[in-house]
Structures are given as structure tokens and as C-alpha cells.
Amino acid sequence: MDGNVLFAFALTLFAGLATGIGSLLAFFTKRTNTKFLSIALGFSAGVMIYVSLVEIFVKAKDALVLDLGLTNGYWVTIAGFFGGMLLIALIDRLIPAIGNPHEVKSVEDVNAGPTNDEYAKLKKMGMFTALAIAIHNFPEGIATFTSALQDPTLGIAIAIAVAIHNIPEGIAVAVPIYFATGNRKQAFKLSFLSGLAEPVGAIVAYLILMPYLNGIMFGVIFAAVAGIMVFISIDELLPAAREYGEAHLSVYGFMAGMAVMAVSLVLVA
């Protein structure tokens, strides 16, 4: 394995491990701080929706339009986007119902412990978010790795952009898991593992996919990932953020998450 390959893999590993930084931010608050929970979940939803619609969907469309033409490329992008939503919705349907999460609003209820239906819902939400981000990070790992092989300077820029994105994505995984279980190690582990999907993507690209990668494959994967992340945000993150009686704070967190992503995209453009 030559130096360029090792450098490309190191960049991908750096980008993936940034999720661990985000997860650590979830540990500087008390478990019963519902204001922090409301803001953080809203922030996470803002990050995921903005990244999905402004960056990932557009990249998918550009790749597919380039290979399939404007009309066909756009239709395949739309199909991939809603196909991703359908996939995660079907997975959600396979999970047993957890009960009515809207009943839990007070700090006293939050202190009841992780057996509460609300905590179970938060834990499931964290698991789904970890799944969505891992799926998202896998093709990002392939993209970072292959870009770095072709142009190390471009690879560095992409790795930094992905790392910036992965910090709040780490929050998106760690916050619900931590608040559901009170277990810092479990929250950090799941967040950390979701980030490791990026170097795994680099390994797969190097060992298996390198001869077969093309714009159509990248476009369909990215469109599906965008749909998955939007579904997670609307179905899980935003409702959970409002359930704690901090509706305005959840909106402020949502706006802040979108703003952070918007600024990061400009800074690394």
C-alpha cells in the first residue's frame, strides 16, 4: 500500500472520528435538562435537513444528470430520495410500537428512569439516527478516499468539510441515547461506531468497488441517504424536541443547526 493510499485512508479516518467529538458535547449537561435536550434535538434536525436538501440531494442530482441527462437524472434522484424515505419507514414499521411519547413532559417524569416509554422512544430514535448517519458516512468515506487519491488537496478540503458535518451528527446520535439511558459510554460508542462507517467505506472502495464506481452509483446512494436523513428528522428528532414543552427552543435549535451547516459549507467551499 503506497503513501497516497495511506494518506487518503488517514483523511477518511479523521473525518469519521469527528462524530466522537460531537458525542462528547452531549455529556456537558444534566440528564434532566429538558431545555438542553429540546435545543440539541432541534439543532440536530436542522443539521440533518439542511445537509440533506442543500448538499447531499444536489450532489446526487448533479451526478445523475451528468450521466443520465437532465430529465432522467432528475427523475432517478427523486426516486432515490423517496426510496430512502420508504426504506427507513419500512424499518420503522418493523419495530414494535413504544407507546404514547407525548405524555412525558415534566422533569419528574424524566427522572423516572430509562424504563419510561419516552426513554425507550429516545433510544430507538438514537439507534435510527446512528443507522442513517452510518449509511450517510459510508458513501462519504468512499468519496473522501477516492478524491484524496486523485487530488490530495481536494481530499483535504472534502475531509475537513465532512468532519465539520460529522461533529453535529455525533450530537444527533449521542444526545438521545445518553438521555434515554444515562450511559455516557453507550452514547459515545454508538456515535463513534457510526463515524467508523467512513473508513469502512474507504476500505470497501479500495478492495472491492474501485473498478466499478461511477456517477450513477454515487447519485442513487446519496439521494437515498438524503431521504433517510430527512425522514429521521421529521419523524423522530423534531417531534421529540417539542415533546418536552420547549417548542420555541426546539425551533431556535433547528435554526441554529441549519445556520451552522450553512456557514460551514461556505467556509470550506
- Res. 7: pLDDT tops 50: yes
pLDDT tens profile 26-71 = 666 555 567 777 887 788 788 889 888 988 899 889 999 999 999 9
More confident residue, 244 or 78: 78
Known binding residue 246? Answer is no
Closest CA to 122 of 193, 47, 26, 53: 26
**What does the longest C-alpha to C-alpha distance in the chain come to?**
58
**pTM score, two decimals?**
0.66
Known binding residue 103? Answer is no
CA distance 163 to 81: 23
Closest CA to 139 of 61, 221, 78: 221
Known binding residue 4? Answer is no
pLDDT in the model for residue 245: 59
Grid cell locating 262 = 450553512
pLDDT tens profile 156-200 = 777 876 776 677 677 777 777 777 777 778 888 888 888 888 898
The tally of domains found in the chain comes to 1
**Domain limits at 21?**
3-267
pLDDT in the model for residue 113: 43
pLDDT in the model for residue 96: 46
- Res. 148: pLDDT tops 60: yes
Contact 224, 87 (CB under 8 A): yes
Mean pLDDT of the chain: 77
Grid cell locating 172 = 444527533
Provide the 3-class DSSP secondary structure of residue 164. helix
Known binding residue 198? Answer is yes
Known binding residue 102? Answer is no
Known binding residue 137? Answer is yes
Lowest mean pLDDT: which of 102-106, 117-121, 168-172, 263-267? 102-106
Contact 36, 107 (CB under 8 A): no
Q: How confident is the model at residue 154 (pLDDT cuts 50, 70, 90)?
A: low
pLDDT in the model for residue 158: 72
Mean pLDDT of 83-103: 64
Contact 223, 215 (CB under 8 A): no
